[in-house]
């Protein structure tokens, strides 16, 4: 309950800070992006996370994302499944502190099944952190980003550990 309260307070603060902006002049309100990762070896891991965002004000944006993670362990422990297909979605808010630095809050819901006859697991993750954008050029808002997020709701069913590091690209239109 305390984590949800902290998440709500952060969102209210970001909305309040962004409402103090004098002008609402910017060309590209929409952006799409995401990250793609692949790990090969004894453990094979494939992860794709596309997202869509919309600037509500010049500094505050909100959006939604999808997640898919494939995990295959060639030599799992006796009590662990060999393969997992994890999928879900998320809602997020971002507040640009500066042009390149922002804070990010996200609520992510993931689901997966443990083995053929195992239970269906639902993992709710509240992620809060910061990100850095490196723009492709001075003429565009398209960028490469790096985010470091912390899961405030980490449990034994969370598929990753703190900190969660994401790197990807975003295109504005």
Residue ranges per structural domain of the chain: 2-21+33-172
pLDDT value, residue 13: 55
CA distance 51 to 72: 25
Of residues 105 and 28, the one with the higher pLDDT is: 105
What mean pLDDT value characterizes the chain? 85
Tens digits of per-residue pLDDT, 34-86? 998 888 888 888 999 999 999 999 999 999 999 999 988 887 666 666 888 99
pLDDT value, residue 11: 59
pLDDT value, residue 32: 97
CA distance 109 to 115: 20
Q: Which two tokens stand for residue 106?
A: 């996200």
Phi, psi of 10 (to 5 degrees): -60, -40
Region 2-21+33-172: CATH code: 2.40.160
pTM for this one? 0.79
Of residues 54 and 137, the one with the higher pLDDT is: 54
Q: Which 3 state secondary structure label does DSSP give 6? A: helix
pLDDT value, residue 97: 96
């Amino acid at each position: 309950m305390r984590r949800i309260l902290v998440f709500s307070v952060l969102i209210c603060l970001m909305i309040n800070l962004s409402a103090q902006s004098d002008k609402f002049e910017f060309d590209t309100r929409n952006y799409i992006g995401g990250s793609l990762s692949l790990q090969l070896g004894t453990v094979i891991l494939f992860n794709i996370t596309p997202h869509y965002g919309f600037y509500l004000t010049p500094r505050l944006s909100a959006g939604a994302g999808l997640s898919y993670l494939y995990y295959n362990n060639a030599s799992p422990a006796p009590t662990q499944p060999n393969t997992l297909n994890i999928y879900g979605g998320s809602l997020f808010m971002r507040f640009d502190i500066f042009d390149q630095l922002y804070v990010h809050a996200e609520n992510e819901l993931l689901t997966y099944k443990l083995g053929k006859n195992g239970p269906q697991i639902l993992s709710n993750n509240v992620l809060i952190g910061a990100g850095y954008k490196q723009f492709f050029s001075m003429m565009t808002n398209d960028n490469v980003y790096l985010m470091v997020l912390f899961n405030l709701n980490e449990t034994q069913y969370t598929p990753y550990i703190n900190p969660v590091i994401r790197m990807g690209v975003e295109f504005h239109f």
